[in-house]
Amino acid sequence: MLIKHHQSYQYYVQKLESFFNLKPSPEQPLTWPWTNPDNIDFWIKRDDLIHPTVSGNKWRKLKFALQQIKNTDTRHVVSFGGGYSNHLHALAYCCKALNIQLHAIVRGDYSQQLTPMLRDLQQWGADVQFVNRQVYQQRNCDEYLARLRRENHNAVVIPEGGSQDLALEGVGEIIGELTQPYDYIITPVGSGGTLAGLALASQYCDTRIIGIATLKGKGYLEELVSGLVGQRASVQNWLIEHEYHFGGYAKKTDELSAIIDEFERMTSIAVEPVYSGKMIAAVKDLVDRHYFKPQSNVLLLHTGGLQGARS
């Protein structure tokens, strides 16, 4: 019985590891669809193409956490997210492939109207618990997490967005895959893990990592990133621009929608309004403001997340 379990388990692990073999994700030249007065050389790293389901930075952030779980006896994971969470979506798919039971704590009650993301979770066998804001706020409290672990077979807890120390290493692999040096790398910022991982992995390069805040979080987001970078405090090659959240998390304006439509039409690259669309709109404005050194190399990280844009 044990051996059988072990075999099927290995099978699923191999299935997951075949995702790794799809890497590195394409690094493509990008013809900038708007005016480019300083002749910036734009490139885009297509992490949206890593895998049809587990795309983008969430797979990067989960990779080592899942490998660690796979080396323990635990077959239960608890994690957190909203009703459209790309993190829960990627995690649920991986858990199904790895034969791990996911307990998803979801902010808000969607039981009467499941989102496409939640329907996928259900289909992949996750057990979903809807909680109100007050309960959700405890998602980083030791006592609450200890209770969740107890109630769920000593589950491993993965924080919201997958952002934790183990995630930084996975994100950092992006830097190792690059085929040329860059003056700037641009990424959207939600919980800061992607920015922290990029900054850490390029601390000895001449690259500035620019995060675009996708929510109102001046000061707070910097604290999150500094917290993740932690003792490696000499990492100072990053900053966050806060002028491009378009009203807050998952909020959008007609201006943002127009920029996204135009970008998609001109480049044939799909972006979504929560993360990558805001990054594109930000870079459009930064180019107009002569933010980048003339003729510099700029890499945009396409973090994926297109599943969240389904309505």
Ligand X SMILES: *Cc1c(COP(=O)(O)O)cnc(C)c1O
Minimum distance from residue 192 beta carbon to ligand X (Å): 5
* CA-based torsion, 56, 60, 65, 71: positive or negative: positive
Report in angstroms how near the CB of residue 62 gets to ligand X at its nearest: 11
Give least dist CB 97 to ligand X, A.
Answer: 19
Q: Which lies closer to ligand X via its Cβ, residue 172 or residue 192?
A: 192
CB nearer to ligand X: pick between 84 and 182: 84
Check residue 269 and report its DSSP letter: -
Q: CB of residue 193 vs ligand X: minimum separation in angstroms? A: 4
The pair of structure tokens assigned to 194 is: 């992607």
The 10 Å Cβ neighbour count of residue 153 is 12
The residue among 9 and 249 lying less far from ligand X, judged by its C-beta, is 249
Helices (H), 99-209: 116-123, 133-136, 142-151, 165-177, 193-201
Other CB atoms within a 10 A radius of the CB of residue 230 amount to: 12
Task: Report in angstroms how near the CB of residue 275 gets to ligand X at its nearest.
Answer: 3
Q: 282 φ, ψ to 5°?
A: -65, -45
Q: Shortest Cβ distance from residue 209 to ligand X (Å)? A: 12
DSSP, res 76: E
Contact 77/268 with Cβ under 8 angstroms?
no
CB nearer to ligand X: give 57 or 207.
57
Q: Which is nearer to ligand X, 90 or 95 (CB)?
A: 90
Shortest distance, CB of residue 196 to ligand X, whole angstroms? 8
Single-letter residue type at 13: V
CA 20 to chain centre: 16
By C-beta, is 207 or 276 nearer to ligand X?
276
Beta bridge partners of 86: none
Q: What residue is closest to ligand X based on CB? A: 305
126 versus 300: smaller Cβ distance to ligand X: 300
What CA–CA distance (Å, rounded) separates 224 from 28? 30
Question: Are residues 299 and 184 in contact, defined by beta-carbon separation less than 8 angstroms?
Answer: yes
Residues near ligand X, by CB under 6 A: 56-58, 86-87, 161, 163, 188-195, 275, 303-305
